């Protein structure tokens, strides 16, 4: 019940009157005589309580009106429109106060002043009191029965600086439309929504007098993250081979068997040339005739793969290592296991075919059809079977064929990402190399030979064979570029910058291709926000009035392909395609995975391991005080990625999470708009 109603129902004045005129005895007379000062002091107490209530509600009304005014300006309203909005909120909030007069003003507020001086509000209130006529406490102001209140507040229009990492899915599925009637690709919708956020926040907060008040980084991710080829010489890149990742798994030696290389010696835990030059994966790129490192990197060993430990040569596992996909086995007959097929008896032609200009063989003594025949079970050897214009012929009905070097064998079944002629720089004769170590492990021994990556004695580097095509002369079935940069498909990271145009250009350059590696996107987004290496544009975590924010968006689950996923005869003993953790046979993808004792090498297990890596990464990011907004875009209901992303998101302060389930294009646009509004929430500073 309000104070007014209490006074009307059984007023203290009525009680005082009854007591003063009571004739029932001396005691009651004394009580009646003492009631007047009691009423006096009671009236002061009631008016004081009412005044406190009025002051609190009055200040709240002014604060709310000022915030609404500043927010309206930040959203593009004119000063006149913003003042009207603020006045309406003020009037609504003082409606429960006994105000005989109230005023609200915004002195000095002009177009453009919000970003520099904020919104300054001043207000007065003439508030009615109930007992001032008795106690006269407030009549000193010359306004009996009223208290004159005055207050003010200032709301900053972006006095806080913000650093925002846009960690965005660029996997191949983003090239498709979302579950809507629109034919626009999800990536194009993402570009527009993210660009709008960048433009909005620069408009709202970018005019602050603080240096670099708004900075963005852009971290596109697909199967890998590209840190930028221009960073090769940075001290955080491992150019001397100190990280153990350079050498693969020495117990399996599926990737790089340096001990078999006569030009390499081991010194301590790393390798160098016989002349003393340290070897790293950059050494292999440098020996290529036509291939340079494109900027993608492998994940560090766990736990450094999920944290932001500063790279240091004193802790080799923290160094950043470039990707280098090995040249997979040559396998002309499509075998997927450790089997070497060797042709013991030299075949000869049993059926010749003559054309207008040529004579060629159409069938061989072992039943092999076609005009070419492999000499051994490796792709780098083949035999000519005809000579132009019939000047002379190779092979006859009783003879053999001549083995020479040359182009690909027709109809050959090559492994995914087989891109080198393995005989390059081989120390020995071709036939000896072809027959050496014949047996079950031959193909994978050949994969691990590193001599094929080095320049030979004539300073000739190895030549890559059609890295944009498979050995059928068609694009790779998954559309990936081959060679040592295999699976490096996303655009480079854009480090924190205050350039709006630079960020929107980076967003426009994004392209959809490859698999989905949310975890590496998240950890590299974190590294752009942190103040230490690899990227150093982030403010210190202790900087005042600075917010660090990550916006993490994906359209699906983690993906890492097992080797035979497409059923095209890939090198199955590698167990997986090459990715951020190498090939899964080395076990690196399972580091830190709860089921690592006996993991299955399939897509489901890879996803589970990567999910765990992401959950751990998000926890580490939030622990540093970075706010994570997460968005699931066009993700099927019931998918575990939704639960995972919601778990990654920061708390919203209302018992929920800063997580958005964007089922279609409109929902994605709305999510980015809402995030922009939340980031630009204005703080009362005075």
Over the stretch 636-666, which tens digit does the pLDDT of each residue have? 988 889 999 999 999 998 889 999 999 999 9
Q: What is the pTM of this model?
A: 0.73
Residue 526 has pLDDT above 90, yes or no: yes
pLDDT value at residue 619: 98
Judged on CB neighbours under 10 Å (0-12, 13-18, 19+), 380 is: buried
d(C-alpha 1, C-alpha 508), whole Å: 61
d(C-alpha 60, C-alpha 470), whole Å: 69
13 and 136 inside one domain: yes
Residue 2 has pLDDT above 60, yes or no: no
d(C-alpha 280, C-alpha 319), whole Å: 12
- Residue 57, SS3 per DSSP: helix
195 and 137 inside one domain: no
Q: Report residue 100's pLDDT band, with 50, 70 and 90 as the boundaries.
A: low
As a whole number, the mean pLDDT across the chain is 78
- Look at 30 and 339; give whichever has higher pLDDT: 30
- Look at 443 and 87; give whichever has higher pLDDT: 87
- Judge whether 615 lies within some domain: yes
70 and 183 inside one domain: no
99 and 206 inside one domain: no
d(C-alpha 273, C-alpha 277), whole Å: 5
Residue 189 has pLDDT above 80, yes or no: yes
- Judge whether 471 lies within some domain: no
pLDDT value at residue 147: 79
Q: Report residue 544's pLDDT band, with 50, 70 and 90 as the boundaries.
A: confident
- pLDDT tens-digit series, residues 252-296: 777 888 887 888 899 988 899 888 999 999 999 999 888 899 999
pLDDT value at residue 102: 87
- Judge whether 376 lies within some domain: no
475-479-483 Cα angle (round to 5): 80
526 and 670 inside one domain: yes
d(C-alpha 667, C-alpha 190), whole Å: 11
Residue 553 has pLDDT above 60, yes or no: yes
Per cent of the chain over pLDDT 90 is 41
- Judge whether 57 lies within some domain: yes
- Look at 643 and 371; give whichever has higher pLDDT: 643
Task: Give the pairing type, strands 403-404 and 494-497.
Answer: unpaired
pLDDT value at residue 137: 59
327: closest CA among 527, 483, 532?
483
- Look at 50 and 478; give whichever has higher pLDDT: 50
pLDDT value at residue 448: 82
- Judge whether 291 lies within some domain: no
- Look at 397 and 684; give whichever has higher pLDDT: 684
65 and 131 inside one domain: yes
* Residue at which a domain ends, from 96, 124, 155: 155
Q: Dihedral angle at the C-alpha atoms of 483, 485, 488, 491, nearest 10 degrees?
A: -120
pLDDT value at residue 332: 41
Q: What is the mean pLDDT of residues 454-460?
A: 84
Q: Report residue 457's pLDDT band, with 50, 70 and 90 as the boundaries.
A: confident
pLDDT value at residue 475: 40
415: closest CA among 334, 486, 295, 321?
334
Task: Give the pairing type, strands 403-404 and 382-383.
Answer: antiparallel
pLDDT value at residue 491: 96
How many CA atoms lie less than 13 Å away from 282 in the CB half-sphere? 18
Q: What is the mean pLDDT of residues 234-251?
A: 88
661-667-673 Cα angle (round to 5): 105
For residue 172, the domain's CATH number is 3.40.50.410
- Judge whether 452 lies within some domain: no
CB 293 within 8 A of CB 285: yes
Q: What is the mean pLDDT of residues 505-528?
A: 96
Q: Report residue 357's pLDDT band, with 50, 70 and 90 as the boundaries.
A: low
611 and 547 inside one domain: yes
- Look at 665 and 446; give whichever has higher pLDDT: 665
Q: Report residue 223's pLDDT band, with 50, 70 and 90 as the boundaries.
A: very high
Q: Report residue 392's pLDDT band, with 50, 70 and 90 as the boundaries.
A: very low
Phi, psi of 511 (to 5 degrees): -140, 150
Residue 247 has pLDDT above 60, yes or no: yes
Residue 366 has pLDDT above 80, yes or no: no
Phi, psi of 233 (to 5 degrees): -90, 5
CB 338 within 8 A of CB 444: yes
- Look at 375 and 154; give whichever has higher pLDDT: 154
Residue 36 has pLDDT above 50, yes or no: no
pLDDT value at residue 473: 37
- pLDDT tens-digit series, residues 111-167: 878 767 789 999 998 877 766 555 555 665 557 777 788 999 988 776 678 999 999
- Look at 207 and 18; give whichever has higher pLDDT: 207
Q: If you write DSSP's letter for every residue of 430-468 in order, what string do you get?
A: HHHHHHTT-STTHHHHHHHB-GGGS--TT-PPPPB--TT
Q: What is the mean pLDDT of residues 227-248?
A: 93
Range(s) of the domain holding residue 140: 3-155
Q: What is the mean pLDDT of residues 454-459?
A: 84
Which range of 331-335, 366-370, 475-479, 510-514 scores highest in mean pLDDT? It is 510-514
Residue 375 has pLDDT above 70, yes or no: no
- Judge whether 124 lies within some domain: yes
- Look at 136 and 201; give whichever has higher pLDDT: 201
60 and 208 inside one domain: no
* Residue at which a domain ends, from 155, 184, 217: 155
Q: What is the mean pLDDT of residues 545-561?
A: 95
* Residue at which a domain ends, from 155, 179, 213: 155
Judged on CB neighbours under 10 Å (0-12, 13-18, 19+), 3 is: middle
pLDDT value at residue 225: 98
- Judge whether 82 lies within some domain: yes
124 and 211 inside one domain: no
User: Before 478, cis peptide (omega within 30)?
Assistant: no
Question: Which residues have C-beta within 8 Å of that of residue 686, sequence separation ≥ 6?
Answer: 152, 153, 154
Q: Report residue 195's pLDDT band, with 50, 70 and 90 as the boundaries.
A: very high
pLDDT value at residue 130: 65
148 and 169 inside one domain: no
| Domain count across the chain | 2
pLDDT value at residue 423: 65
13 and 44 inside one domain: yes
Q: Report residue 320's pLDDT band, with 50, 70 and 90 as the boundaries.
A: very high
171 and 69 inside one domain: no
Residue 369 corresponds to which tokens in the numbers above? 């059809």
Residue 472 has pLDDT above 50, yes or no: no
Residue 400 has pLDDT above 50, yes or no: no
What's 488's DSSP letter? -
pLDDT value at residue 184: 92
Residue 48 has pLDDT above 80, yes or no: no
- pLDDT tens-digit series, residues 71-96: 788 767 889 999 999 999 998 888 87
Residue 414 has pLDDT above 90, yes or no: no
pLDDT value at residue 59: 87
d(C-alpha 489, C-alpha 468), whole Å: 13
pLDDT value at residue 10: 42
Q: What is the mean pLDDT of residues 443-466?
A: 79
| Other beta carbons less than 10 A from residue 584's beta carbon | 26
- pLDDT tens-digit series, residues 618-631: 999 999 999 999 99
């Amino acid at each position: 019940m309000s104070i007014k109603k209490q006074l009307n129902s059984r007023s203290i004045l009525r009680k005082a009157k009854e007591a003063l005129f009571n004739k029932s005895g001396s005691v009651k007379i004394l009580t009646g005589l003492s009631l007047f000062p009691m009423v006096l002091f009671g009236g002061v107490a009631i008016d004081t309580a009412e005044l406190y209530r009025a002051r609190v509600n009055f200040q709240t009304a002014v604060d709310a009106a000022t915030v609404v005014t500043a927010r309206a300006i930040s959203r593009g309203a004119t000063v006149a429109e913003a003042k009207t909005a603020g006045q309406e909120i003020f009037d609504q909030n003082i409606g429960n106060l006994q105000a005989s007069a109230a005023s609200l003003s915004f002195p000095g507020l002009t177009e453009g002043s919000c970003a520099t001086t904020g919104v300054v509000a001043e207000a007065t209130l003439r508030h009615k009191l109930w007992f001032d006529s008795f106690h006269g406490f407030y009549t000193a102001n010359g306004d009996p029965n009223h208290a004159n209140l005055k207050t003010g507040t200032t709301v900053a229009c972006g006095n806080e600086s913000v650093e925002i990492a846009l960690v965005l899915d660029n996997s191949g599925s983003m090239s498709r439309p979302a579950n809507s009637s629109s034919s626009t690709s999800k990536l194009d919708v993402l570009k527009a929504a993210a660009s709008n956020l960048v433009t909005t926040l620069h408009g709202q907060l970018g005019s602050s007098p603080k240096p670099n008040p708004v900075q963005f980084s852009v971290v596109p991710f697909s199967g890998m993250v590209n840190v930028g080829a221009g960073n090769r010489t940075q001290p955080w890149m491992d150019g001397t081979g100190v990280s153990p990742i350079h050498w693969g798994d020495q117990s399996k030696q599926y990737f790089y068997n340096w001990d078999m290389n006569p030009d390499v010696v081991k010194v301590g835990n790393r390798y160098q040339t016989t002349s003393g030059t340290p070897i790293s994966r950059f050494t292999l790129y440098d020996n290529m005739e036509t291939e340079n490192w494109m900027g993608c990197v492998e994940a560090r060993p766990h736990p450094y793969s999920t944290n932001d430990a500063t790279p240091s040569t004193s802790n080799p596992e923290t160094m950043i290592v470039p990707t280098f996909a090995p040249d997979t086995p040559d396998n002309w007959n499509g075998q997927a296991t450790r089997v070497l097929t060797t042709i013991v008896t030299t075949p000869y032609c049993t059926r010749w075919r003559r054309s207008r200009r040529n004579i060629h063989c159409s069938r061989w003594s072992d039943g092999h059809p076609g005009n070419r025949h492999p000499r051994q079970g490796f792709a780098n050897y083949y035999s000519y079977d005809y000579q132009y214009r019939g000047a002379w012929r190779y092979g006859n009905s009783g003879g053999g064929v001549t083995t020479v070097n040359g182009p690909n064998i027709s109809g050959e079944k090559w492994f995914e990402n087989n891109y080198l002629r393995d005989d390059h720089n081989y120390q020995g004769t071709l036939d000896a190399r072809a027959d050496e170590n014949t047996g079950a492990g031959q193909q994978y021994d050949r994969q691990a030979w590193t001599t094929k990556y080095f320049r030979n004695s004539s300073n000739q580097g190895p030549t890559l064979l059609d890295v944009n095509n498979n050995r059928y002369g068609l694009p790779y079935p998954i559309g990936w570029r081959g060679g040592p940069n295999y699976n490096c498909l996303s655009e480079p990271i854009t480090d924190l910058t205050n350039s709006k145009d630079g960020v929107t250009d980076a967003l426009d350059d994004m392209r959809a291709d490859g698999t989905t590696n949310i975890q590496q996107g998240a950890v590299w987004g974190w590294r752009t926000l942190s103040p230490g290496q690899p990227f150093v544009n982030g403010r210190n975590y202790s900087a005042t009035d600075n917010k660090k924010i990550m916006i993490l968006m994906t359209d699906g689950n983690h993906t890492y392909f097992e080797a035979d996923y497409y059923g095209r005869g890939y090198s199955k003993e590698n167990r997986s395609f090459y990715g951020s953790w190498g090939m899964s046979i080395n076990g690196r993808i399972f580091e830190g995975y709860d089921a690592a004792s006996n993991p299955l090498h399939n897509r489901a297990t890879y996803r589970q391991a990567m999910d765990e890596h992401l959950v751990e990464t998000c926890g580490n990011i939030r622990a540093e005080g970075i706010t994570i907004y997460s968005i699931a875009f066009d993700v099927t209901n019931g998918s575990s990625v939704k639960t995972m992303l919601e778990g990654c998101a920061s708390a919203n302060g209302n018992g929920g999470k800063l997580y958005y389930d964007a089922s279609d294009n409109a929902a994605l646009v709305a999510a980015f708009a809402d995030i922009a509004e939340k980031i630009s929430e204005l703080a009362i500073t005075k």
